[in-house]
A and B are shown apart, each in its own frame.
Chain A
Amino acid sequence: MKQAFELTVNGGHVRVETHPDTSLLHVLREELDLKGSRFGCGVGLCGACFVQLDGQVVASCDTPIWSAAGKTVVTVEGLAPGDELHPVQRAFLDEQAAQCGYCISGILVSAATLLARNPAPDEQAVVEALDRNLCRCGVQRRVVRAVLAAAEVTE
């Protein structure tokens, strides 16, 4: 049975009508047409769908919409206002820190969340913040370099 849910996504107020068990990821991708969060596993084990929910990094694929109601969601599209890029996104472009790019949205969300809390992380802190994100192409070290470079810019 469909129900109405209200939440804030990337700074805007949204209202969706859907089954309460529908995942936040599905709502973002299909109802709100925000395709940046990717489906990887559906059970929160890979990080491709990571978003911020009230400032915490969560797997949107196994977050039912009922549990996100009334909360604030930030996706990769909302890390910076409008068409701007967040410093960590600019650093990823500078470092060419991607191959296929499928895991990158979730990694950017993890990285931006880290930098918001700790503007000057050391390498160990970056690695720990990203350890729930999987990458199969093997760009982990480029990603770590990019996050450290972004930290230097934002400091």
Chain B
Amino acid sequence: MTELPADLAANPVLARWVTVHPDDSIDVRVGKVELGQGILTALSQLAADELGVDLHQVRMVPANTRLGPDEGMTAGSLSIMRSGPAVRAACAQVRARFTAEAARRWGVEGVTVRQGTISAGERTTSYGALADAVDLEVVADPALPLTSGDGPVFTGTDSPRLDLPDKIAGRPRFIHDLRLPGQLFGRVLRPPSPGASLRHLDTSRLADTNVKVVRDGSFIGVVGPDEAEVMRAVEALRGATAWEEHDALPDEDDLPGFLRAGPHETIEVVPGEQPPPAGRSLRATYNRPFIAHASMAPSCGVARWNDDGTLAVWSHSQGIHNLRGAIALLLRMDEDRIEVEHAESAGCYGHNAADDAAFDAVLLARSVPGRPVHVQWSRPDELAWSPFGSAMSVDVAAVVDESGAVRSWEYDVWSQGHTSRPGYGGAPGLLAGAYLDRPWRYPAPVDPPLAGGAGTVRNAVPIYDLPHRRVTGHRLLETSIRSSAVRSLGAFMNVFAIESFMDELALSAGIDPLAYRLMHLTDPRGRKVLETAAKAAGWGTPVAEGAGRGIGFARYKDKGAYCAVVADVEAESEVRVRRLTIAVDVGLVVNPDGVRNQIEGGATQATSWTLKERVRFDRRRITSDTWETYPILRFSEAPETSVELVEGPGVPSVGAGEAAQGPTAAAIANAVAMAVGVRVRDLPLTTDAIVAAIESSDG
């Protein structure tokens, strides 16, 4: 008797995971969704190995609330860790049932499966041939082995991404390309500011057009058969509305003051053990602004109210079951009457507006029963109305002994909560729900529990062996800015702060920053990752005038991937990151190129956050709503990256998607400090921020 993997135990019926067709094709359904990260490719490799078939025999089917398993959200770098074992075990169970059927028919034992051929001695058959005889509407049997025990064929190889041939050929693949019979197009006219309410709406300008206006409270939308006409109609309506607006946003020039003013929930991560010992004391404060997802595609959703009152929704949500529950909550309907299917969109880096766009489509489709309505957001709405990653502020203080070693460590972090996902905190969380005639008052964003990876205090506890620690989080309980999960949540800021401060302590003690970290680190996997990155980067070799080299390191979520980054920068009129040399340990690697791609991409995106990004607003409106006002990294600014995979033999796989975020920021900041001779503690590391840091250090 073995314990089934958690996701299989929660969805034990094998038919939810696997369907075998008579033509020998095999559908595999998982609850995890493709976000551009390549998860379905990696899971197909595991499935093919367990089934004993070729990759092309397996078809990964989009997640669907009615047909597939519920594996919660595709988030937190957990997909390979959670779904991997479940898919393997489900496929191993399917294989066992098919080999048992063959054995029964032939009256033999020792039936094997290789490359899709089920055989014993001279006799052969196939999955398709036995499909009608094997019932998969059965629950997984904990007595069966969790894997087939055959050596991996595809696992551990650079299997090419399943979705890229379509995307590179320019074939329809995204939710934006979805066209259903009878489909109409919808657009939403969002308020001019988050606190606005609609006073007056004049639809007379649309008298001669073929569009329908939908209004519910301060929610306004337009539906029609011609998307171009619908877009023109929304622009016409924009000039025909009157709104009541208030100054409700914080002072963008004093975000630390806003975050620290409270009220707060206090999160005791590591309670203060004893008063700090005597010694030399150092302290520093680090800040970051709000940041945006800034996905390349505007969010999109499709919905259809069927004649029997049921609802069909297509969404690029990270959590289709949560979305279904949130829609049911807002519309007071039974969630069994809602079916949500995942459809791919552009890259997703956390809780973006996917769910919001789906609910917009649901509201607009209600006015045209039986017709699917396809809703796409505008670029300004995408940048201004998607949830943001919270601004954060950190105080850290340490006492060091005469050798420079840390004797005590005190850490405080202030932040808004890092999730307002649908269903969290009992609120539906869908944007339009707060603007309806009967609005839902949303609570301030919350944090996942500590055991679930935390939010504000994610990675707030250093990996180093530090005595006399105290680590405290302070989550803001009142805010007018909607924040939610953005890739790595609080870990980006906490690792930036911890790893910047470790550098400050090292320099203050006159010790090499790498040696200083190793002096405080016993974890053998961590040491190996740090040493690997340093060696690959030529740590200790000379650095040119005006250039700098810095290192940053963390283990994501304390139990995930280890990642060390060495940044080589030039800092003259502005900071240019020339090279990022990265080492990562994600345990058993399912797809090496997939891991590299995630780490390279994460590090490149983190470079963009670190150098450039800041959500802008006045006291009333979000003002960074174009690519000019919210610039991101360009080709000419993208650093060369190299990734060393440090594989721990026999260690279970963990996710790679978020591991590089914090270490990259810290490595760049530490390199900049070396290049310009001054520590910049406020992100982003723009020329203005560096000049300000130089001026304040002169003073």
Binding site for B on A (CB under 8 A): 18-19, 21-23, 26, 29-30, 34-43, 45-46, 48, 75-77, 85, 89, 92-93, 96, 98-105, 108, 127-128, 130-131, 133-144
Contacts and interface: CB of A to CB of B under 8 A. Distances in A.
Given A41-B626, A141-B641, A142-B600, A35 B605 contact: no
Which of B295, B346, B348, B600 has the most CB atoms of chain A within a 10 A radius of its CB? B346
Given A26-B228, A45-B627, A96-B593, A137 B171 contact: no
A133 B176 contact: no
A104 B346 CA distance: 11
A141 B640 contact: yes
Contact of A136 (B177, B232, B294, B635): B294
B600 A26 contact: no
Interface string B626-645: 11100011111011110000
B601 A96 contact: no
B164 A101 contact: yes
Nearest to B376: A39
A26 B345 contact: no
A81 to B, nearest CB: 13
Nearest to A133: B635
A142 B163 contact: no
A45 B628 contact: yes
Interface stretch (B34-42, B149-157, B422-430): B34-42
Interface of B: 35-38, 158, 160-161, 163-165, 167-174, 176-177, 227-229, 232, 294-298, 344-349, 376, 378-379, 593, 597-598, 600-605, 607-608, 626-628, 632-636, 638-641
Contacts of A141: 600, 604, 638-641
A131 B607 CA distance: 17
Contacts of A42: 378-379
B228 A142 contact: no
B170 to A, nearest CB: 2
B301 to A, nearest CB: 15
B600 A93 contact: no
A75 B171 CA distance: 11
A99 B170 contact: no
Which of A21, A23, A104 has the most CB atoms of chain B within a 10 A radius of its CB? A104
Which of A21, A48, A137 has the most CB atoms of chain B within a 10 A radius of its CB? A137
B36 A99 contact: yes
B168 A108 contact: yes
A89 B347 contact: no
A37 B627 CA distance: 19
Given A48-B296, A135-B296, A138-B638, A100 B627 contact: no
A131 B634 contact: yes
B214 to A, nearest CB: 22
A100 to B, nearest CB: 3
A100 B635 contact: no
A85 B168 contact: yes
Contact of A102 (B161, B347, B349): B347
14 contacts: A35-B170, A41-B626, A46-B296, A77-B170, A89-B168, A96-B161, A99-B36, A99-B347, A99-B601, A102-B167, A131-B636, A138-B607, A138-B638, A140-B638
B632 A134 contact: yes
A136 B170 contact: no
Contacts of A38: 174, 176, 296-297
Contacts of A105: 167, 170
A139 B228 CA distance: 32
Which 6 residue pairs are nearest across A and B when measured between Cβ atoms?
A36-B170, A100-B36, A138-B604, A101-B167, A102-B346, A138-B601
Given A93-B168, A102-B296, A137 B347 contact: yes
Nearest to A25: B228
A89 B170 CA distance: 10
Which of B163, B168, B294, B626 has the most CB atoms of chain A within a 10 A radius of its CB? B168
Contacts of A135: 296, 635
Contacts of B605: 136-138
Given A100-B36, A140-B635, 6 more contacts: A93-B165, A100-B167, A100-B297, A102-B347, A133-B635, A136-B294
A133 B164 CA distance: 19
Nearest to B604: A138
Nearest to B602: A138
Nearest to A128: B636
Contacts of B635: 127, 130-131, 133, 135, 140, 143-144
Contact of B295 (A22, A108, A136): A136
A21 B236 CA distance: 14
B627 A134 contact: yes
Contacts of A143: 635
Nearest to A88: B168
A37 B170 contact: yes
B171 A35 contact: yes
B177 A35 contact: yes
A143 B634 CA distance: 12
B379 A41 contact: yes
A136 B601 CA distance: 8
A108 B229 CA distance: 30
B228 A138 contact: no
Contacts of B603: 138
A137 B176 CA distance: 18
A38 to B, nearest CB: 7
A39 B593 contact: no
Nearest to A102: B346
B627 A93 contact: no
A23 B158 CA distance: 40
B273 to A, nearest CB: 41
A101 to B, nearest CB: 3
Contacts of B379: 40-43, 46
Contact of A139 (B170, B176, B601): B601
Contact of A100 (B35, B177, B628): B35
Contacts of B607: 138
A77 B168 CA distance: 9
Contacts of A43: 379, 626
Nearest to A130: B635
Contacts of B172: 35
Contacts of A98: 161, 164, 167-168
A147 B59 CA distance: 30
Contacts of B164: 92-93, 96, 98, 101
A44 B227 CA distance: 19
A99 B597 contact: yes
Which of B164, B167, B378 has the most CB atoms of chain A within a 10 A radius of its CB? B167
Contacts of A35: 170-172, 176-177
A40 B298 CA distance: 6
Nearest to B642: A141
A101 B168 CA distance: 7
Nearest to B300: A39
Which of B227, B228, B605 has the most CB atoms of chain A within a 10 A radius of its CB? B228
B174 A102 contact: yes
Nearest to B605: A138
Contacts of B638: 138, 140-141
B298 A46 contact: no
A87 to B, nearest CB: 12
B628 A104 contact: no
A97 B220 CA distance: 40
A104 B168 contact: yes
A42 B176 CA distance: 14
A85 B165 CA distance: 10
B37 to A, nearest CB: 7
